[in-house]
Amino acid sequence: MPLRITLHTTAFEPLEALAQWQQELLIGGQTPSAAESLFIGRVRGEAADGSALAALELEHYPGMTERQLEQLAQGCMARHGALSCLIQHRIGRVLPGEAIVLVAIGADRRGPAQRCCQELLEALKHDAPFWKREWHADGRSTWITGNTPL
């Protein structure tokens, strides 16, 4: 099953990444999935304390993060019978409005596509070693411990 995971050190455009992925699947002989579900996450303009956010810093654990994402994606695809999976994730300094994550799942029906996308996103947020640090306009920074509510 086609699976691609990319960690971007600079800004990426999620819809362009998705279009390129779909094109590559076509070239590879895969017919377009009947159902596709995708999630795009972007940086908010506000920090957790309500102040203006200058940037978000994404740290990861090189080697383990990629491995964990692959294991999570393969498990999730198998459970839901998904046909393809694309994960794009930012690392480094990310500005408000920029994309942090794209998850795109192809499947034969909307149910598996949507369930797989949601489950994988939640798994990624809780079980792939990434850490966020908020940088405030005054130069302060705060490590985020945990995730925003669903």
Partner 1 sequence: MLARKPPGALVSVAPMGEAQANGIRICLFAGLREQAGWAEQHVPVAAAAQEPLTPEHLWNSLQLPGPLSSMRIAINHQFADPQTPLQPGDELAFLPPISGG
Binding site for partner 1 (CB under 8 A): 41, 58-59, 61, 63-64, 67-68, 89, 100-101, 121, 124-133, 143-147
Q: How far is the CB of 104 from partner 1 (least distance, A)?
A: 14
Pick between residue 25 and residue 58 the one whose CB is nearest to partner 1: 58
- Looking up tokens 């019978």 gives 81
- 109 CB contacts (<8 Å, ≥6 apart)? 34, 35
Q: Which of 40, 86, 89 is nearest to 60 (CA)?
A: 89
Q: How far is the CB of 46 from partner 1 (least distance, A)?
A: 16
Contact present, 102 and 58 (Cβ < 8 Å) = no
Pick between residue 45 and residue 131 the one whose CB is nearest to partner 1: 131
Q: How far is the CB of 45 from partner 1 (least distance, A)?
A: 18
d(CA 148, CA 46): 13
Q: Which of 86, 92, 73 is nearest to 131 (CA)?
A: 92
Pick between residue 34 and residue 64 the one whose CB is nearest to partner 1: 64
Pick between residue 30 and residue 39 the one whose CB is nearest to partner 1: 39
Q: How far is the CB of 89 from partner 1 (least distance, A)?
A: 7
Pick between residue 10 and residue 141 the one whose CB is nearest to partner 1: 141
d(CA 128, CA 125): 6
d(CA 23, CA 141): 40
Q: How far is the CB of 68 from partner 1 (least distance, A)?
A: 8
